[in-house]
Amino acid sequence: MALSTEQKAKMWAMLNQTRGQIGLTAYKDYIFGILFYKYLSEKATHWLNGVLRGEKWESVYSQDSVKALNYMKKNLGYAIQPNEFFVDWKKAIDTDRFNIGMMTDTFTHFNQQVAFEAKNDFEGIFDGMRFDSADLGANAQARASVMISMIELLSSPEFDLSGSNDTVSDIYEYLVAQFATVLASDMGQYYTPKEISNVMARILTFGREDMEKFSIFDPTVGSGSLLLTTASYMKNSGRRGVIKYYGQEKDATPYRLSRMNLMMHGIEYNDININHADTLESDWPDGVVDGKDTPRMFDVVMANPPYSAHWNNKDREDDPRWREYGVSPKTKADYAFLLHCLYHLEDNGRMAIILPHGVLFRGASEGRIRKALIDKHQIEAIIGFPEKLFLNAAIPVCVVILRKNRIESDVLFIDASKEFEKTKKQNSLRSEDVDKIVDTVINRKEINKYSHVATLDEIKENDYNLNIPRYVDTFEEEETIDLVALGNEMVALNADIKKAETDFLGLLDELAVTTDTKDIIEATKAVFR
């Protein structure tokens, strides 16, 4: 069940009350880290209740700790020692036994008890929390006080994780979105608006919702929202092993958040493959192994890369990702990301990428890349969105839909920039806007002043320029002005004004003239003479 507006407001108010003087940028790392550990603790507790059948975990552990921990690791990918669960911290607080060393020991032990096959999924996932950091306080007592506040906050009913996976994921998603809103310059780049995610996901999964095996890849994974939204449209997404989630992320914070996000949505560690590296510098997954190019291919690929990023494009001509198309300029990596995505797409797959509009018309090397994509019939659709949809960018963006082996040579253009809901600082797509975009793409509809299917000949006539206004005319002719009617209206209006002035002067004549009012009355009359 989705969180209510009242629940969300209360959660955020409570968070702000407990953080004290800690900056939000630092605070988020601890909140997400501790919330995730609470989730892992409760997941382990639920599993233990099912397998121990009344026995105490402490008792089983005391009999053979190595065997007990290995059994938990085999099933969960991690193990938690007795007295190191989230609830144990709360019990220690309630009995005045808590100290910050308990948390340090817990995470040290946790990192030691991660299964080998789950190392990549948990590696460094709690590194954003430094319990000796001055961000928390000047001494151990002050830092412990901050941790106590956080633990008590996350123990409140508002942060109850004992319900369904939907409740857990709703709480996490709300916090990610809220922190991204408040910290737009810090986190906004890692968060894709839900409405755009839904457009991309519905297009990418259309006609494939029933697949028993499905692989998805986001090379700039951010918080993982695009992966999760795409998977949510697959009918078998709740089944273990059906969907494989792949992603790569350069920055440490979203690398941690994306893995937490996936696991808190109930996805098992052995279905998650998130790598920490620079996508353009390090081709992954697989890439060149022992001198041989062996790239992993995916059913769908989606991305929201940094716009017009600088990158090192020197000596990239022989990279198999760009060899057939050309190399993007060093000050604009947009096509480098697009071609990376396309390279890792299955022959029958489909991809979607969010980019600035400049990729549609800029020349030089980008123009040559665009021409190659068009001549190979790989661009299926281009969707132009309204401005101010993103937290960290006011510019309008477009989504480009591509398929590797298309036979058709036409391109669908959609100008959806005029259909949205305006809020205080941002714009947002309504559900009907999302539905219209998806329906237009799926059915390749021609809608006056909204969409157009352009032939290859049309595109060639425009010198391979894909700027949307060249293909979708949204110009609205102004209504013809009837000058005779307008003149008559002005004459009538002047007559009305004259009559009102005459009536007003008549009222002034009826006023009693005294020494105090004489000058005021005469001055007022002078205005209308």
Q: Count of H helices and E strands in the chain?
A: 19, 13
Please report the pLDDT score of residue 387 as a whole number. Answer: 93
The whole-angstrom separation of Cα 423 and Cα 200 is 23
Asked which of 128, 147, 163 is the last residue of a domain, the reply is 163
User: What total number of domains does the chain contain?
Assistant: 3
Q: What is the pLDDT of residues 104-152, one digit of tens each?
A: 999 999 999 999 999 999 999 999 999 988 888 888 888 999 999 999 9
Asked which of 422, 442, 470 is the last residue of a domain, the reply is 470
Cβ-count burial of 203 within 10 angstroms (0-12 exposed, 13-18 middle, 19+ buried)? buried
The closest alpha carbon to 241, from 223, 265, 219, 215, belongs to 215
- The CATH number of the domain holding residue 266 is 3.40.50.150
145 and 207 assigned to the same domain: no
Residue 476 covered by a domain: no
466 and 488 assigned to the same domain: no
Distance set, CA 121 to CA 77, 112, 117, 169, 264 (Å)? 9, 14, 9, 18, 13
On whether the CB atoms of residues 454 and 358 are closer than 8 A, the answer is no
User: Per-residue confidence at 392, pLDDT binned at 50, 70, 90?
Assistant: low
The closest alpha carbon to 258, from 307, 211, 321, 216, belongs to 216
421 and 521 assigned to the same domain: no
Which amino acid is it at 187? M
129 and 263 assigned to the same domain: no
User: Per-residue confidence at 477, pLDDT binned at 50, 70, 90?
Assistant: low
Residue 477 covered by a domain: no
354 and 394 assigned to the same domain: yes
359 and 251 assigned to the same domain: yes
273 and 307 assigned to the same domain: yes
Helix 364-375, helix 334-343: angle, nearest 10: 30
Please report the pLDDT score of residue 167 as a whole number. Answer: 77
The closest alpha carbon to 123, from 290, 249, 282, belongs to 249
Residue 114 covered by a domain: yes
Please report the pLDDT score of residue 190 as a whole number. Answer: 58
Minimum mean pLDDT range among 335-349, 401-415, 504-518: 504-518
205 and 231 assigned to the same domain: yes
Asked which of 470, 500, 517 is the last residue of a domain, the reply is 470
What mean pLDDT is predicted for residues 295-316?
95
The whole-angstrom separation of Cα 68 and Cα 60 is 7
153 and 297 assigned to the same domain: no
H-assigned helices in 252-363: 252-264, 334-343
What mean pLDDT is predicted for residues 395-406?
95
Domain range enclosing 27: 5-163
Residue 168 covered by a domain: no
93 and 208 assigned to the same domain: no
Residue with the larger pLDDT of the pair 412 and 491? 412
Residue 173 covered by a domain: no
Residue 174 covered by a domain: no
Residue 410 covered by a domain: yes
Please report the pLDDT score of residue 303 as a whole number. Answer: 97
Residue 10 covered by a domain: yes
Minimum mean pLDDT range among 191-195, 302-306, 452-456: 191-195
Peptide bond into 285 cis (omega under 30): yes
- The CATH number of the domain holding residue 107 is 1.20.1260.30
pLDDT > 50? residue 23: yes
pLDDT > 80? residue 475: no
Q: Are strands 272-276 and 243-249 parallel, antiparallel or unpaired?
A: parallel
149 and 208 assigned to the same domain: no
pLDDT > 50? residue 1: no
Please report the pLDDT score of residue 426 as a whole number. Answer: 86
Please report the pLDDT score of residue 411 as a whole number. Answer: 98
The whole-angstrom separation of Cα 129 and Cα 448 is 54
240 and 107 assigned to the same domain: no
3-state secondary structure of 468: helix
The whole-angstrom separation of Cα 206 and Cα 442 is 8
pLDDT > 80? residue 525: no
The whole-angstrom separation of Cα 76 and Cα 66 is 15
